[in-house]
Structure 1
């Protein structure tokens, strides 16, 4: 039996995907689909970290098949697979449900696996240095929960799920309120007793100013590796330093500097290369 909490958590999202697919326009077609059981094979055709199986399973459960459950698939979630292993995960579904849910289920699984796989490549580079890889809010509208979930499966961390998880003082706040001091004071006036403040800083002088204000979390935006090292020398033990700004897999080695706590990478959600997964099924004779 699948975890009902998983079903409830993703049901509204999955329902919106089927609204987009607009099956209700052709009830004759839906009614005509045979319900014979078919043998399904989920084929992993790339080097990948598999992610998104809770969503994959819930697509078919949403369509009315209670026999499929996440307990069977759970052992595969988050595992690394090689293309040459030609892994196939076998299960059964009624033909009508397999056909109707196939594309949505695969889209979600492939998208999540792409993000988890790409995230994991960053994580492998940074983990030896004790640096966490964070995502950003640069997610696809309507897919944030899936994409943030995939980052976690890939070994990364979620920066924030929504705007109010953390008060993030950015350049537009500074411009509007008249400076970094005024922007920080605005967010402090929100009285979020357990809500931390992080300030995006753009040069070493601004770092010094924010540090003097008692802010404990700072993001160095588009700092050079040389300037990052200068900042790290000034870093108190109770302050966290996040680095961000166009860092890619090809350049991240330059930013793996001792003393950095985290590197945030928007590209892990919006720029992950696709992975190849297919679903094939055949009638049981």
Structure 2
């Protein structure tokens, strides 16, 4: 059992409710409990992530898997065709397979995709961040997978840090009034991040004393100009449609972080499967 799976019982209950395991009590009660060998088959080149959730799904159904037996595989790069084996009662293996695999595949596709961005940024002073563009109900899993992939987490919730975006500025009547509103929240240790859309707005942000700037959808040329304007003590985050093929354009000296929604919302599909056979059979 992994400590990470403790406290997630309500999540597992919700996941398994979709499979309606209690819908046919007779069937569920008649499933054999003989021990079977389970083969987790890696069918794509991946960085494996999400094994605590994978193990937790089976243990929620009554298995007694020890996550320590799986921990060495978490964050490891696997080639297509490799296999991880373990044992479970047939009833639990069959009932938990799809939920466990779905969680593992979701985490693994994100960690695998994230690793590609991190590798491109290696050697720079820029940190790769995720965003809140996550699947409802799976934010913890998806942000965990980003970390396994080597990147860092941005906000987990709207109030981790205040972020002034274009909708705030439109509603309050501009950056200055939006800034005054969030300053009035009087949360002394809570950072305020300001989304900036032009060099003129950046200059205004400096006049207001903004310390955390998000340069949103800036061209490569304007990014260079923004870096030249940067003041001491200010952090620069780049955001807005950054892709693998455009990442290098944003890796400029003076850019502290790049936030990439695609890490979680557009990670490509990867393929994993699980096969069962009676212990001792060929």
Which residue, 234, 244, 252 being the options, matches 1:239?
234
Residue by residue, what CA displacement relative to the aligned partner does 1:154-198 show, whole Å, maximum 9, x if unpaired?
011111000000100000001111110111111111111111000
User: Scaled by the length of structure 1, what TM-score is found?
Assistant: 0.96
The match for 1:139 is 134
CA distance in 1, matches of 2:5, 2:151: 24
Q: Secondary structure at the match of 1:89?
A: strand
Q: How does 1:8-23 map to 2 (within 5 A)?
A: 8-23=6-21
Unaligned 5+ runs, structure 1: none
The match for 1:193 is 188
The match for 2:49 is 51
CA distance in 2, matches of 1:75, 1:192: 41
What's the CA shift for 1:11?
Answer: 2.0
8 Å contact kept, 1:10–1:55: no
Q: How does 1:41-120 map to 2 (within 5 A)?
A: 41-66=39-64, 68-83=65-80, 86-120=81-115
Q: CA RMSD in A?
A: 1.0
CA distance in 1, matches of 2:82, 2:221: 45
User: Scaled by the length of structure 2, what TM-score is found?
Assistant: 0.97
Question: Which one has the bigger helix percentage?
Answer: 1
8 Å contact kept, 1:135–1:269: yes
The match for 1:273 is 268
CA distance in 2, matches of 1:246, 1:51: 25
Which residue, 132, 141, 150 being the options, matches 1:155?
150
CA distance in 2, matches of 1:204, 1:249: 25
CA distance in 2, matches of 1:202, 1:163: 20
What's the CA shift for 1:82?
Answer: 2.1
Deviates more, 1:224-233 or 1:186-195: 186-195
What's the CA shift for 1:237?
Answer: 2.8
Unaligned 5+ runs, structure 2: none
Number of aligned residue pairs: 280
| Residue 260 in structure 1 maps to residue 255 in structure 2 | yes
